[in-house]
Amino acid sequence: MSKRKILIFDDEERNRKKYVEALNKTQEIVKKFKIESILLKEFLKEWKILGDRYRDLRKTKKGKDEPSILDETSVFIIDYDLIKASDASGYLTGENVSYLVRCFSKCNFIIGFTQFGTNNFDLTLKGQSESHADLKLGSDQLTNPGLWSSNERIDFFPWYWPNIPKYLENLPKKLDDIESNLDTAICDFFGMTKEVVGTMPRSASEFIGGNPQEITFAQFLRYSDNALSQVDKKFVDKLDPEVKKLLISSRISKWLEQLVLPGQNILIDAPHLVQRYPSLLKGSIADLNSWNATTTFNNFSSIGIDYKKIEEYRFKKDHWLSHPAWFLNQVSNCQKIKEVSDPWTKKSTDFVFCEDSSSFYKKDDCKEFIAELESPYVRRYVRKFKGYEYTPSVRFSL
């Protein structure tokens, strides 16, 4: 099986070399990916190809479509500040580039470096759903092993990060789902009932465009302001069909991961689930390992919870999420759970889940913060490791 391609662009040559060298030192990445960088001159050529495709979208007669290396790229990594590239082709940022790459190429996954620091943790937990990059990172975080391996982690690994190989592995399933269900309402496809949609945060509803109970995958590109720009929506029928599916997949994945799941009040994942219902743990409540068995990227049946009790409430389209999840409104009424049938049976624990490490620690070793989410469950914890910037720091004092 041929390796997937990682393509990196930074208009500073020393940075390009640094990123390539760092990725090539990470064995889990080298096993799965071929790593290349693109020079400024080559990038400007690719930028012109994407620009031509963009302009052709608005023309009656389509021009010659030159091939782009981005069409064969699995992971495209783009810096935010592109000063030298801007000198040659107008003002560019990683966000400008991400929009054109997502809407006019067949690139599978886009990583954009954030302008807010090289090694930061976002205490809002809101993500950046407005960005067309699939993941925003500090540049120092690129080689974090948890991004590239399901089996290897360092202490710092935010729960809101995906595992990139797993994302790429699941992508064909998502594209098949979209192709087979273009005229299906998005929320119906995901098993979201009218009751669930009624409690959805406004930000999540507005992202879809129109009534979230009615908008289909096909309509999403026409009515949402979070896929194509207002002007480009008029030309959606002229988009390449494969690009169209990739665009829908990317944006709906972000909707689920950054707007629906983080509040843990519509969908709830395993570590947050056992914090509320400790009786679902397979192992001993007094054993830290029992808690941490719930924090993997593994299939729902292999994580450390008694999943059979709540199987009927599981989010069945689990290839759309980084972690297994369940519908909270249904779980919270499940009489098979001790804490539901008899709330007085809930046992206290010294352990809390830390969003910056994707692990449980003793509460006294952690720091509480208030996430900026449309949810009643905003009190969260971090381990607060040295060498990382936690922003905005005011979230610690609310």
Whether residues 281 and 376 share a domain: the answer is yes
User: Which residue would you say has higher pLDDT here, 104 or 65?
Assistant: 104
Identify residue 245 by its one-letter amino acid code: K
Average pLDDT over residues 323-340: 94
- The DSSP output letter for 115 is S
337 pLDDT above the threshold of 80? yes
Average pLDDT over residues 307-332: 95
Asked if the structure places residue 373 within a domain, the reply is yes
Whether residues 202 and 276 share a domain: the answer is no
Whether residues 181 and 275 share a domain: the answer is no
Asked if the structure places residue 163 within a domain, the reply is no
pLDDT at 151: 73
Residues 149 and 28: beta-carbon distance below 8 Å:
yes
Cβ neighbors of 65 (< 8 A, separation 6 or more) are 52, 53, 56
Whether residues 239 and 274 share a domain: the answer is no
**Sign of the torsion formed by the C-alpha atoms of 356, 361, 367 and 372:** positive
Whether residues 255 and 271 share a domain: the answer is no
Whether residues 390 and 294 share a domain: the answer is yes
Count structural domains, the chain. 3
pTM of the complete model beyond 0.85:
yes
Q: Confidence band (pLDDT; 50, 70, 90) for 1?
A: low
Range of the domain at 35: 4-113
Q: What angle do CA 156, 138, 297 make, to 5 degrees?
A: 45
Nearest CA to 59 among 321, 234, 307? 234
Element (H, E) at 17: helix 13-24
Domain end point (choices 206, 238, 260): 260
pLDDT tens-digit map of 214-229? 999 999 999 999 999 9
Asked if the structure places residue 158 within a domain, the reply is no
Whether residues 39 and 104 share a domain: the answer is yes
Q: What CATH number is given to the structural domain containing 31?
A: 3.40.50
- Peptide bond between residue 392 and the one before it cis (omega within 30 degrees of 0): yes
Domain end point (choices 245, 260, 275): 260
Domain end point (choices 260, 293, 314): 260
How many angstroms separate the Cα of 383 from the Cα of each of 156, 351, 356, 368, 375?
9, 12, 7, 9, 22
